[in-house]
């Protein structure tokens, strides 16, 4: 059975995941004490079946995990109807598709400024870091602007987010747990301060709008508002950073795919972004809990048992995707589930898609002749899959 902490597996999980799919049905993992759904049809069903809920189990002791617990229990991600329905409806009013699409010019402006700085680094050293200099700061700056975080505080956000999301990995270390507790406390108090200020001095930012929704009697309490803002940052940039980085490394390692981006980056942007998300998924495991005995793919998940949708595996299912283990940036049929499915389909998916579709062509228009300077450094995590560093040479 898979060892999710095996460094070799984390580096390249796809051969083992293929073996799971070939078993033809979900399998029980003793170490995780949950079922694993590796095939596309099963993983998709896990995300869409109403008797498989996103049930958050509070961590104990409560006095140490207080903020971490309610940041999750009061968020859209870890709640089920009717609470989920109410929260998503309220947040959706402020975080609308029209508002997100209106951000495109600002996203392109931020991306251009980041590329200016990256070019300066190239001129000085011959290379830049795709993650630290471009993929990571872009969505953080966008979310920070959307929520109205002061520019001077941007550097706080990514460390808080990374500390919290490490708790989604398999068996996080004691040190990681301590960091998550501290980050949850600091992040919650930071947003609480902004929320209090915006109630007295509202602006046009999302926190101000959510605070007004609450004051209008529409049921967003203070903890729900704070949890929503924290979730929007955490979930709102992880997919964009990791999806962009994973896809770029894969493309840079394949000359035929790289040439497609060099020759016509805008012409293939939409299909390229979807293939980035499919080929090396930024999120690999999303668990659910059975609220009643539930049949999935020929097995029965008993009430109270957990089952995980293995998203990265589903996106490589050879029965769904032609040449599933090959990257094809022009792929037309691409029903990947990189952003999930069902009622928990990622609220930030439209924003992540706009960020990636804006930043990808700009990168190749400004720096068409890119190549890897060294072996990229992977994050040592499976659930959230990405890179820590991608050093890239830009040749004239």
Reference 241, options 270, 284, 282; nearest CA is 282
Position of tokens 């990947």?
A: 336
Q: Is 32 exposed, middle or buried (0-12, 13-18, 19+ CB in 10 A)?
A: middle
Active-site residue among 38, 188, 211, 235?
Answer: 235
Residue tagged 């009013």 (tokens): 93
Catalytic residue selected from 75, 79, 161, 240? 240
Catalytic status, residue 355: yes
The CA dihedral of 202, 230, 190, 193, to the nearest 10 degrees, is 30
Candidates 346, 349, 352, 358; catalytic one: 346
Active site residue 326: no
Which of the residues 238, 275, 287, 391 is marked catalytic?
238
CA angle 230, 231, 233 (to 5 degrees): 70
* DSSP E strands, the chain: 27-29, 34-37, 52-53, 127-129, 285-290, 294-296, 299-301, 306-310, 370-372, 377-378, 387-389, 391-394
275 is catalytic: no
The H or E element that residue 134 is part of is: none
d(CA 289, CA 185): 27
Report d(CA 336, CA 316) in Å as an integer.
9
| Whether 211 is catalytic | no
Which of 187, 282, 283, 284 shows the shortest CA–CA distance to 227? 187
Q: Which of 107, 114, 151 lies closest to 129, judged by CA? A: 114
Distance between CA 95 and CA 213 in Å, rounded? 12
Q: Is 309 a catalytic residue?
A: no
Q: Exactly one of 355, 357, 359, 394 is catalytic; which is it?
A: 355
Tell me the catalytic residues. 235, 238, 240, 346, 355
């Amino acid at each position: 059975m898979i060892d999710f902490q095996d460094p070799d597996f984390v580096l390249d999980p796809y051969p083992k995941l293929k073996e799971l799919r070939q078993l033809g049905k979900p399998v029980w993992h003793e170490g995780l004490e949950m079922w694993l759904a590796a095939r596309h049809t099963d993983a998709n069903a896990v995300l869409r079946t109403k008797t498989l809920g996103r049930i958050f189990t509070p961590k104990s002791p409560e006095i140490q995990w207080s903020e971490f617990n309610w940041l999750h229990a009061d968020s859209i991600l870890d709640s089920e109807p009717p609470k989920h329905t109410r929260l998503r409806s309220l947040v959706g009013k402020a975080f609308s598709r029209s508002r997100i699409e209106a951000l495109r010019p600002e996203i392109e402006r931020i991306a251009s400024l980041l590329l200016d700085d990256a070019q300066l680094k190239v001129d000085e050293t011959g290379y830049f870091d795709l993650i630290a200099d471009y993929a990571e700061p872009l969505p953080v700056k966008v979310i920070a602007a959307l929520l109205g975080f002061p520019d001077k505080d941007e550097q706080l956000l990514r460390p808080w987010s990374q500390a919290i999301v490490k708790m989604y990995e398999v068996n996080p270390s004691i040190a990681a747990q301590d960091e998550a507790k501290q980050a949850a406390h600091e992040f919650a108090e930071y947003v609480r301060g902004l929320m209090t200020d915006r109630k007295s001095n509202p602006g046009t930012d999302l926190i101000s709008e959510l605070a007004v929704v609450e004051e209008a009697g529409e049921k967003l309490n203070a903890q729900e508002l704070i949890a929503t803002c924290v979730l929007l940052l955490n979930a709102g940039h992880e997919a964009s950073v990791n999806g962009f980085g994973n896809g770029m490394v894969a493309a840079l390692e394949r000359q035929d795919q790289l040439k497609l981006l060099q020759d016509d980056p805008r012409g293939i942007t939409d299909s390229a972004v979807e293939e980035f998300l499919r080929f090396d998924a930024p999120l690999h495991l999303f668990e659910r809990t059975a609220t009643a005995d539930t049949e999935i793919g020929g097995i029965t998940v008993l009430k109270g048992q957990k089952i995980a949708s293995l998203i990265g595996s589903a996106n490589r299912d050879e029965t769904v995707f032609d040449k599933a283990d090959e990257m094809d940036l022009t792929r037309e049929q691409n029903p990947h589930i990189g952003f999930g499915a069902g009622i928990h389909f990622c609220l930030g998916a439209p924003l992540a898609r706009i960020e990636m579709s804006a930043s990808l062509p700009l990168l190749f228009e400004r720096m068409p002749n890119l190549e890897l300077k060294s072996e990229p450094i992977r994050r040592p995590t499976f659930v959230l899959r990405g890179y820590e560093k991608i050093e890239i040479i830009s040749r004239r």
